[in-house]
Structure 1
Amino acid sequence: MAEPAGPVTVNDADARKVAFGAFVGTALEWYDFFLFGTAASLVFNHLFFASDDPVVATAGAFASFAVGFAARPLGAILFGHLGDRIGRRTCLIITVALIGFVTGVIGLLPTYFSIGVAAPVLLTLLRLLQGVAVGGEWGGAVTLAVEHAPKEHRGRYAAMPQIGSPIGTLLSSGAFLAVSLLPPESFNSWGWRLPFLAAFPLLGIALWIRRRVEESPLFEQLLREDELARSPVTEVFRRAFPQLLVGAGSTLLGVGGFYLSTTFVISYGTEYLGVDSSVLLSGTLVAAGVEIVVLLVGGRLAERHGPGRVTVVGGLVSALVAFPAFWLIDTASTTLVILGVTLAVACLSLPYAVSGALLTDLFPARLRYSGVALSANIASVISGFVPLVATALLAVSGGRSWTPALLLVVIALITAGSGALAPRLSLGHDEVVTG
């Protein structure tokens, strides 16, 4: 797995431009993807998976939610191969176009009460296409940002695409919070569609930004020197399988823990605790604002202490606060519910902040898009089922929150252990010099 023979010159000015482009495009993609999670908790269970049993309806909505995550490895394989063969930039333009179009179409779908069982089937198929697009998005955005960055500043630039996640949360939760103020009849008939339809104009913005982003200098050198992997996905499984597993474990908390603390908690709070949905959406908004700060700090900490150590600390702290966070949520007090959600998200955001730097260190440039995308999306497959598993555990425990809290502890410890192993397995040794 040879690297480019000579050093590649990069500088902070170019790195900032590319990282910003990766961030904006990723924020718009996560807005689209997160809309589905929020709607699964508040809308799809009633309008697309109608049932007299609220648990069955919620389980159906979360199952469709999970399909998007199950499809993400397909996107990782497809776009990982293309990203390591034809370039990172081209793939990122395709992924943002696909997810924007699909999300807009969801806003046009008729409900179960109009077309019957065809409604949840079509919704699930569109969610599958969302998953394929997102499966190729994040790995490419992080790879492009890192490969444009000076090595000593990779932590901060690798964190930029991560900031797209809380921005996407703010946009999606804010959009649903705004339309949830409509009368229930208006919200259920057309109000919930507005955030999805907004994806169409946002798609134009995303495409304009992505077309201005330049290709990775490391990829261009690999292309010139004919060092591209013939079958990058196959090579990742054959030559970097331990790195793949560790990478997946290191990202599990940032994705699965996040959906447990937000998507599941929204459903749990409304269905079991009787908390108004606006309170829970407000909690996700506050948590997303705090997460941005944690991500910025985490990127700098990665440069100083290494992403592996930061991942370990973030995993252990998240395990310690899991039960206290749910105890706060269980009070059903507006202030304490928001505090509980914010506390959980803030702690798990620390390993999420450095996951880009950690994963890109694990894989060499010729396999990086595939390796990063596969690692993140193996974790995402598991993560997509976390709200569903948490719902099942909650039913088993009679609606008591100790079971989802314990699930969060397990996820956090897996990430902490993976962070401890990651520095020993690094294969990414790109030669870069600051221009």
Structure 2
Amino acid sequence: MEKVLRDPIHNHIYIQHQVILDLINAKEFQRLRRIKQLGTTSYTFHGAEHSRFSHSVGVYEITRQICDLFARNYPTKDAHDGLWNDDERIVALCAALLHDLGHGPYSHTFEHIFQTDHEQMTTDIITSPETEVNHVLQKVSPSFPQKVASVIQKTYPNPQVVQMISSQIDADRMDYLLRDSYFTGTNYGNFDLTRILRVMRPYKEGITFDISGMHAVEDYIVSRFQMYQQVYFHPVSRSMEVILSHLLKRAKYLYTKNELQLNGATDLLVPFLTGNYTLNDYINLDDGVLNTCFTVWRSSSDEVLSDLASRFLDRHPLKSVRLAPETKKFVPTLQDLVTQAGYLSEYYMDTNDSYDLPYDAYDPNSQKPRTQIELMQKDQSLVELSAISPLVKSITGKVSGDERLFFPREMLASDKQNDLFSPVYTDFNRYIHNDQVVAPN
């Protein structure tokens, strides 16, 4: 059997196994249609409405293409040659498709407030006998769900399969860079996917790249760097995340005081407000549930909850400015001034840092050692990418990003809204200059 899905990134996505089609049709996978891939980024780039569903089938398609190339060009001849055993195809394809299954609504912000873990939830959905996904995987073999889960947990014994899904250049990253670039209307994430797939090759320790494709790999690294700087770390998207975080935080606080209005969709949040939720409670959540809660809270008698819900739904981001290590000492003073202006600084101010390593050479002593990108030379020896690429070496291990202070835009509003001649606003503005916190004059 073969089914074909039309896709704006890969043109066609080929479903060639019944188990893949059955997984796509499972309710836990269909739920991903209702969760945006980029969360609050659509408040900055209005086209970024694509879902985790479309990303997941895209990761599957790239993995399918890798398996095809490996099976055609590098088929194993014996168990110790380090080449591709196509018996691994099904587990690789299933893991690729299901790798994001456990993401919750507004993923990382929700995780932070309610202490959930999307990777653990992915594993739980795959291995729980209560889910449709598990029932589908059980048809392959009773041990198959755990095999798929172990790929996502990076404990599967074949490193080639693990690195297809999770490494510094994998099917997951390649799809989200291309897909996010397309839907945000930017070009930063574009790179030569076809060339990279052509130069990929299996070896005993995982996946390497023929040295002839070094420039395509360099282009991918730079594309990822640019996407983080220009899209993923955009100050407005981060501002909306801060509002969302504080909105959920306020709801949680009011619930503990028995002051949160419960109504329909908000009932679905109660298990998370109490910290006592089941896997089915988690599966019932999506972006729409949270957005309905926010619509209800817009009419709340609690002014903070109501205002934060309105700011989020109506896109009124907080203002943000850059913080430097030497100016962080001024934050408590600025918090006091915001409080004097009538805002609860706990909910209307925050610092947020966004940092990323564009590329990180392997360090076994680091807390989360990364699989480095290896290039295979003509004599079959391997060399680490940054050792021969001056371009990649220049950004290897270099943390990029910034820390920002978020506060109500009204603190900088015109005198039609605020009396900027009053001491509170005058004092506050003395600390803000050229998009950064500065020492006051």
Same fold? TM cut 0.5: no
Instruction: Looking at secondary structure, tell me which structure has more helix per residue.
Output: 1
TM-score, length-scaled by structure 1: 0.27
TM-score, length-scaled by structure 2: 0.26
Computing the radius of gyration over CA atoms, which structure comes out larger, 1 or 2?
2
Structure with higher RCO (Cα < 8 A, 6+ apart)? 1
Instruction: Looking at secondary structure, tell me which structure has more strand per residue.
Output: 2
